[in-house]
């Protein structure tokens, strides 16, 4: 219990920094009261379509798969950058890691999560 005081000091410093930044931005920040301030825009252009435009769920699936496998590639790159200094234990752990990734990809492929044509057939049969 006596070894937790550095963590307490760190937590207090983080809390102080957060409250200081929020307080200073509130005190020093600009206040806008123009009617155009609250209107939505994308990239400086007023949108011409309604906000409730529907996007196919496949795009979200692809984005989620990309994020998952992209983050995993960062771990693989870190291992490759460390090279031989990690030894065989790290190689075995990396092999298990890649095996888990491959099994997850195989599962997604097996349940049809990566097959857009199957989902499109299901969606068109539901609309009829």
User: Comparing C-alpha atoms, which of 75, 97, 26 is closest to residue 89?
Assistant: 97
Answer yes or no: is pLDDT of 21 > 60: yes
pLDDT at 91: 87
67 in Cβ contact with 56 (< 8 Å): no
pTM of the model: 0.46
42 in Cβ contact with 57 (< 8 Å): no
58 in Cβ contact with 119 (< 8 Å): yes
pLDDT digits 0-9 by tens, 44-96? 666 666 655 566 667 777 788 888 788 888 888 888 888 778 888 888 988 99
pLDDT at 8: 93
H-state helical runs in 29-115 = 57-82, 87-110
86 in Cβ contact with 79 (< 8 Å): yes
Average pLDDT over residues 107-127: 71
Which of the 8 DSSP states describes residue 114? Answer: T
Answer yes or no: is pLDDT of 109 > 80: yes
pLDDT digits 0-9 by tens, 53-65? 566 667 777 788 8
Most confident of 17-31, 43-57, 104-118: 17-31
Q: Which residues of 89-100 are buried (b: 16+ CB within 10 A; e: fewer)?
A: eeeeeeeeeeee
């Amino acid at each position: 219990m006596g070894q937790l005081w550095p963590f307490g000091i760190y937590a207090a410093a983080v809390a102080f920094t957060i409250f200081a930044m929020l307080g200073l931005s509130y005190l020093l920040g600009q206040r806008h009261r123009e009617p155009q301030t609250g209107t939505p825009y994308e990239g400086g252009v007023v949108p011409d379509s309604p906000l409730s435009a529907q996007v196919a769920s496949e795009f979200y699936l692809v984005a989620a798969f990309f994020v998952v496998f992209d983050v995993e590639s960062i771990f693989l790159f870190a291992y490759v950058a460390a090279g031989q200094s990690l030894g065989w234990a790290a190689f075995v752990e990396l092999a298990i890691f890649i095996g888990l990734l491959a099994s997850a990809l195989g599962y997604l492929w097996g349940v049809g999560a990566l097959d857009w044509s199957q989902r499109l057939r299901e969606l068109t049969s539901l609309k009829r």
